[in-house]
């Protein structure tokens, strides 16, 4: 076995692993834009804040440290007219802080013994590395990120889901940052329901639900900021992304007239013209500047009778109360800019990623592991009025057909 021993070789390997992980077609990576030139946050590089996911790197942090971000509120004081004295009418700069934790995570595989290597034509070490650094890490990142954005883990579980249910002993450790229910002004419901517990089987996802979201965005005092990717040639045309579950998509598709569906898909194609971004690949529809797209992997679903945390009123701290699902409910997430923070720290030899390989069983077997230091958290800030608000994400709950 070739051992990687020099510090320089370790750094090259870590950079390669990090680059490979960020280039994979995971949902979190797709929703992250490139870093603008000379952008610095806490002495480290930050990707564009107008994308749904903001990645902060080179933090020089160790396992368990906290990363801070800050936002300044818009000025909204009255102007001073004519010859009135400006003294005493100056507006104070107002800001709010947001913090998230980062921690170390590791996962490993047994690449088999010498006889296992002889029985296959594949390089088991390379297979193990690819599965760890690409498939495993990307899937776990997406599942944690979707739970953070939705503010809940949900009840759905399948054999291909890595993230355990919220009642599992290891759930909190894996999440790193606790889940926070959608804030009161960012939580919407399908049909004629006005609260989570009043949703019934008829309140399914439809075009009316998209209209309600679009109207809310137009009338909000502190609306979500539109998504603006650097490669977007539209010249600032607003764009929001509504990630819905496959069952919500099915209800949407089967309830929409053929002529309307053609308009929705044609609008998505027109918006993507000259903008070959991955969010426009596959099934999608567009209505009133909202791109509607089904997300796969781990739908956020609440079974009938499940107890869910919800913010039932505005508050300065996002106080949550327990509510009960009256039917089977899926949660969609509407994304604008700066919805989720994905922060990386530095571990061994200064890299965010590392890989370790060692012999086992008297040097008959090979074990490989990867490790990384990061944390994800939905971004929320306290507004000028003192109420806390999710910054770039809104939740839409609807009943689903079974």
**Domain residue limits, the chain:** 1-75+97-402
Question: Among residues of the chain, what percentage have pLDDT more than 90?
Answer: 48
Phi and psi at residue 371, to the nearest 5°:
-140, 150
pLDDT of residue 286 exceeding 60, the answer is yes
Sign of CA dihedral 285, 303, 326, 377: negative
Cα distance between residue 95 and residue 75, in whole Å: 11
pLDDT, residue 194, reads: 96
215/138: higher pLDDT: 215
Is a pLDDT exceeding 70 seen at residue 314? Answer: yes
Q: For the beta carbon of residue 38, count every other beta carbon within 10 angstroms.
A: 6
pLDDT exceeding 70 applies to what percent of the chain?
A: 77
Mean pLDDT of the chain: 82
Confidence (pLDDT) at 17: 54
Average pLDDT over residues 100-111: 78
Q: What is the pLDDT of residue 114?
A: 55
| Weakest mean pLDDT among 57-66, 132-141, 221-230 | 57-66
pLDDT value, residue 43: 46
**Rounded Cα gap, residues 235 and 238, in angstroms:** 9
The answer on pLDDT for 24 being more than 80 is no
What pTM value is reported for the model? Answer: 0.84
Predicted confidence (pLDDT) at residue 290 exceeds the cutoff of 90: yes
Q: The tokens 């609306």 sit on which residue? A: 223
Predicted local confidence at residue 19, as pLDDT: 55
What pLDDT was estimated at residue 148? Answer: 97
Tens-digit pLDDT profile for residues 75-96? 667 787 777 877 887 766 555 6
Q: Tell me how far apart the alpha carbons of residues 299 and 165 are, in angstroms, rounded to a whole number.
A: 12
209-239 pLDDT per residue, tens:
999 999 999 999 888 999 988 888 887 789 9
Does residue 400 surpass a pLDDT of 60?
Answer: yes
Q: Please determine, for residue 307, whether its predicted confidence score (pLDDT) is greater than 70.
A: yes
pLDDT digits (tens, 9 = 90+) for 147-203: 999 999 999 999 999 999 999 999 999 999 999 999 999 999 999 999 999 999 999
In this predicted structure, what is the pLDDT of residue 18?
Answer: 55
**DSSP string of 348-393?**
GGG-SEEEEEEEETTTTEEEEEEEEEEEEEE-EEE-TTS-EEESSE
The confidence band for 45, taking pLDDT boundaries of 50, 70 and 90, is: low
- CA–CA separation, 390 vs 396, rounded Å? 14
What is the bridge-based pairing of β-strands 393-399 and 187-189?
A: parallel
Q: Alpha helices, DSSP H only, in 4-99?
A: 7-23, 27-30
Helix (H) / strand (E) containing 267: helix 258-271
Which one, of 71, 48, 12, lies nearest residue 350 by Cα?
12
Asked whether 31 and 279 are in contact (CB, 8 A), the reply is yes
């Amino acid at each position: 076995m070739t051992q990687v021993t020099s510090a320089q070789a370790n750094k090259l390997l870590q950079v390669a692993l990090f680059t490979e992980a960020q280039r994979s077609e995971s949902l979190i990576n797709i929703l992250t834009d490139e870093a603008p030139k000379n952008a610095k946050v806490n002495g480290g590089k930050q990707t564009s804040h107008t994308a749904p996911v903001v990645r902060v790197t080179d933090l020089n942090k160790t396992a368990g440290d906290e990363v801070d971000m800050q936002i300044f509120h818009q000025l909204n004081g009255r102007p001073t007219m004519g010859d009135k004295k400006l003294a005493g009418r100056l507006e104070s700069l107002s800001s709010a802080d947001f913090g998230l934790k980062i921690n170390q995570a590791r996962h490993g595989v047994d690449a088999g013994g010498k006889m296992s290597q002889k029985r296959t034509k594949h390089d088991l070490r390379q297979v193990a590395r690819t599965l760890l650094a690409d498939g495993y890490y990307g899937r776990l990142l997406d599942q944690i990120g979707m739970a953070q954005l939705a503010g809940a883990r949900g009840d759905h579980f399948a054999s291909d889901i890595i993230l355990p249910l919220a009642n599992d002993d290891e759930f909190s450790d894996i999440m790193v940052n606790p889940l926070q229910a959608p804030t009161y002004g960012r939580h919407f419901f399908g049909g004629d329901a006005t609260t989570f517990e009043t949703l019934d089987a008829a309140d399914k996802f439809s075009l009316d639900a998209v209209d309600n979201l679009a109207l809310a965005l137009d009338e909000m005092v502190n609306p979500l900021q539109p998504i603006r990717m650097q490669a977007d040639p539209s010249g600032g045309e607003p764009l929001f992304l509504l990630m819905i579950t496959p069952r919500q998509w099915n209800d949407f598709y089967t309830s929409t007239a053929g002529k309307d569906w053609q308009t929705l898909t044609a609008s998505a194609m027109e918006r993507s013209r000259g903008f070959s971004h991955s969010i426009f690949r596959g099934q999608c529809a567009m209505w009133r500047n909202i791109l509607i797209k089904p997300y796969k992997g781990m739908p956020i679903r609440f079974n009938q009778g499940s107890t869910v945390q919800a913010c039932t009123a505005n508050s300065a701290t996002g106080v949550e109360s327990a509510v009960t699902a009256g039917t089977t409910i899926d949660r969609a997430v509407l994304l604008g800019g700066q919805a989720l923070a994905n922060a990386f720290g530095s571990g061994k030899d200064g890299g965010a990623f590392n890989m370790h390989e060692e012999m086992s069983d008297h040097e008959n077997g090979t074990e490989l592991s990867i490790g990384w230091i990061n944390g994800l958290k939905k971004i929320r800030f306290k507004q000028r009025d003192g109420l806390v608000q999710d910054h770039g994400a809104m939740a839409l709950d609807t009943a689903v057909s079974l």
